[in-house]
Every structure is written in C-alpha cells, then in structure tokens.
C-alpha cells in the first residue's frame, strides 16, 4: 500500500520513552520524524535569551511566529531550563496556534511521518492512522530523566528531577488549550516494565497491523 499521508501520533508525559520509540519506528518504517517538544523548547529558549518571561504571551507569541531553523538547532534545547520554558510557552494559545500548520504539513508529507508530543493525537492530527499514548509510572520516568541528565554531567538530585518532572506534567495536563491527555482512540503503551527494544517492538507491531503488514 502507499504510505503517502500515513501519520503516527505518539503522545505522553515527559520521559516516558516517546522520543526513543518515535525515532526507532521512524527509522524502521522509513518515515520522517518530528519531535514537537523541540519546537516548544526552541520558542522557550528564544524568549529566555531575549531576557523575557516564557509565560508572557507578548514575548512568546512573536517568538513562535518568527521561529527559524537556527532556533531549532540551538544547542541548549535539552536542558531542564529549556524544558521548563517550553512548558510555559506551550500553555499560551497564540503560541500553539502559530506552530500548528507547520506540524500538520509535516504529518501529511508523502512517505509517512511520526510526530511525538502532547497533543498530536488529540489536536494536531486527530485523523492519524496510528495513535499511541506512551506512559510509565512517575518514579520510573524520573529515574530515566535523572540518569540521562547525570550522563551529561548534570549534578542535580533525583528528588529535584522528580519534582521538576511532576511540576511540568501537571502544567502540561492542566492547561486549557490542548492539554496532555490520551486521545479517545489511542492505544496505551505503558513502558514501566519494558526495556527499549520491547517498547519499540510493541509500537512497531501496532503500526504494521495498521499498514496491513501485520
């Protein structure tokens, strides 16, 4: 079958494994991949670097509207500070609106696309062929993020990482516009007890079935 317009939407809270699964299935099926969190991180960092408050719509909306490739390639997007700023700009409806068309165009590109984020299955691509909601329990997610940060030389404590993750998830899930939640028709994938290979294999099996290959 033709894979033109085949979209895989992967949502879930922070550090649940969305990024790893998305990259792996994109590679396996030859689909393009868009990490939509990177876009919000780029907007957040742009606002911070302008010396403004990421929660201020008057600063964040123009930043979202003028986002460049250079902003998306900024080397500081994976830091906890960038994550916090991303979550703040992401609560502003004007920011989300400015980024919507780019994400939708990406999702419908010929050859198939995987997008991961918080609202892909609910708002960006409600008609996606496959929707996954990837979760893991709070402790497991905090431990994964803490290990990731430590490997990069970040010395913050496990407790601090867990607190920041919980704070960000609460903000992402409670905002009025496009909150983090599973789409009604999403398949739930809990990665608490799964290693990377097993989680990727489950996701790939769901995609294969929808492609008529399973």
Interface with ligand DC by CB under 6 A: which residues? 14, 36-37, 40-41, 83, 86-87, 90, 117-120, 168, 172
| 3-state secondary structure at position 183 | coil
Neighbours of 27 (CB within 10 A): 12
Task: Name residue, tokens 């299935």.
Answer: 25
Closest distance between ligand DC and the C-beta of residue 83, in Å?
Answer: 5
On whether the CB atoms of residues 40 and 145 are closer than 8 A, the answer is no
CA terminus-to-terminus distance, the chain: 13
Partner residues linked to 91 by β-bridges: none
Q: Where are the alpha helices (DSSP H) in 118-194?
A: 138-151, 158-174
Minimum CB distance to ligand DC smaller for 138 or for 208: 138
Closest distance between ligand DC and the C-beta of residue 126, in Å?
Answer: 13
- Which residues, including other chains, have CB under 8 Å from residue 90's CB and lie 6 or more apart? 40, 96, 118, 172, 175
Minimum CB distance to ligand DC smaller for 7 or for 36: 36
Minimum CB distance to ligand DC smaller for 108 or for 208: 108
Minimum CB distance to ligand DC smaller for 17 or for 37: 37
**In degrees rounded to 5, what are phi and psi of residue 87?**
-65, -30
On whether the CB atoms of residues 148 and 140 are closer than 8 A, the answer is no
- Tokens representing 175 are 């905002």
| 3-state secondary structure at position 184 | coil
Closest distance between ligand DC and the C-beta of residue 161, in Å?
Answer: 13
Rounded CA gap, 126 and 120, in Å?
7
Closest distance between ligand DC and the C-beta of residue 213, in Å?
Answer: 28
Minimum CB distance to ligand DC smaller for 160 or for 212: 160
Closest distance between ligand DC and the C-beta of residue 120, in Å?
Answer: 6
Closest distance between ligand DC and the C-beta of residue 17, in Å?
Answer: 11
Minimum CB distance to ligand DC smaller for 12 or for 62: 12
């Amino acid at each position: 079958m033709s894979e033109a317009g085949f979209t895989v939407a992967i949502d879930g809270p922070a550090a649940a494994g969305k990024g790893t699964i998305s990259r792996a299935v994109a590679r396996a099926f030859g689909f393009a991949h868009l990490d939509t969190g990177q876009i919000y991180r780029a907007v957040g960092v742009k606002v911070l670097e302008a010396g403004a408050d990421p929660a201020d719509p008057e600063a964040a909306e123009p930043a979202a509207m003028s986002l460049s490739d250079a902003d998306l390639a900024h080397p500081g997007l994976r830091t906890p500070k960038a994550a916090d700023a991303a979550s703040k700009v992401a609560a502003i409806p004007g920011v989300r609106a400015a980024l919507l068309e780019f994400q939708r165009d990406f999702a419908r590109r010929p050859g198939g696309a995987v997008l991961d984020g918080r609202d892909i299955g609910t708002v960006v691509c409600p008609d996606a062929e496959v929707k996954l909601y990837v979760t893991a329990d709070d402790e497991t997610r905090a431990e994964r993020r803490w290990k990731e940060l430590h490997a990069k030389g970040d010395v913050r404590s496990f407790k601090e990482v867990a607190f920041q993750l919980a704070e960000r998830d609460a903000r992402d899930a409670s905002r009025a516009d496009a909150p983090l939640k599973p789409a009604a028709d999403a398949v739930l994938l809990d990665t608490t007890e799964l290693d990377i290979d097993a989680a990727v294999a489950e996701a790939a099996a769901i995609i294969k079935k929808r492609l008529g290959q399973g």
